[in-house]
Amino acid sequence: MSTTPTDKRARVFSGIQPSGAVHLGNYLGALRNWVALQHEADAVYCIVDLHALTLPKEPGEVAQGTLDIARLLLAIGLDPRACVFFVQSHVHEHAELGWLMQTIASYGELSRMTQFKDKSGRSTGFISASLFTYPALQAADILLYDTEVVPVGDDQRQHIELARDVALRFNARYGETFVVPEHHIPAAGARVMDLQSPENKMSKSIDSPQGTVNLLDTPKEIEKKVKRAVTDNDGEVRFDPTSKPGVSNLLSILAAATDGDPAKLADQYHQYGPLKADVAAALIALIEPIQARLADLDDATVRAELRLGAQRAQAIAAPVMDRAKQACGLLV
């Protein structure tokens, strides 16, 4: 029995949580790559709503966040005919295989996950057990689709290594069942830093509203944030991320928005004001078409696309889940 996808294009899987506003760093660093990759690979994209429950949420918060981010992803350019696009909780095999992966992952492996240590260390209140075990569910998300490549940032390398480890362990214990995925850092993804703290990545988990450009910001809000972006006092425009992180971040953003080269762009400027004006204009030109498409999408259309995506996803996931059940000895 072969566990290799029959499509000659590589099967890739990526997921995103429906929490927090989608910002420029998300788009230029990852989501724009999703759009390109759907035409180059056999792409499976998932809104991982079950992962969002690892932290306490108000009733209805995850559902609304799921609809909001689904609309935005469609507006960005995801094509449900070119990729499989769905919601994690709509395909019950994710939770089922997540439990099996908990039986394969060790306590020691989960306890070494740096994201658990970071998030639990920052918490002063309730810490859910799911925050500890969710890497096993993340491994299941990947393995359910015979995924060959997982294009994520380096901060997720440890989780992809766990997915590889549990796949190898399951295969060794029960026979060849899962494709062992590879971790891949997309080369084209831009590294977008906070406009107010350019030593930190732009992040939806860090409270820096003036340093973060959201995809739903108005043109005036974008102009204001870019105008107030931190630079330095020497007045020289050059691309030097170490000694001039603020200016270099603006050049990187402009390069990513216009398909340019930050070092070459620096030669065009002698003052920070014109650079900031051009960065703001480029971002507005990049974001306004997304917002226009977003306004044309209603919830009924989005729900219909997600239902179709769940059917397509389950057609792939169900045979893999059956394969895993049979391999480990469950009655089927």
Instruction: Give the sign of the dihedral formed by CA 317, CA 319, CA 325, CA 327.
Output: negative
Task: Given the residues 8, 57, 117, 204, select the one marked as catalytic.
Answer: 204
Q: Phi-psi bin for 244: left (phi > 0), alpha (psi -120 to 50), beta?
A: beta
In angstroms, the Cα distances linking 68 to 14, 76, 276, 302 are 18, 12, 30, 9
Task: Given the residues 8, 57, 117, 201, select the one marked as catalytic.
Answer: 201
Active site residue 201: yes
d(CA 175, CA 5): 18
Distance of CA 52 to the CA centre of its chain: 13
Opening angle at CA 40, ends 168 and 287, nearest 5: 110
Beta bridge partners of 149: 12, 182
The letter for the amino acid at 241 is: P
Task: Given the residues 8, 57, 117, 119, select the one marked as catalytic.
Answer: 119
Active site residue 264: no
Active site residue 204: yes
DSSP 12: E
Point out the residues that are catalytic: 119, 201, 204
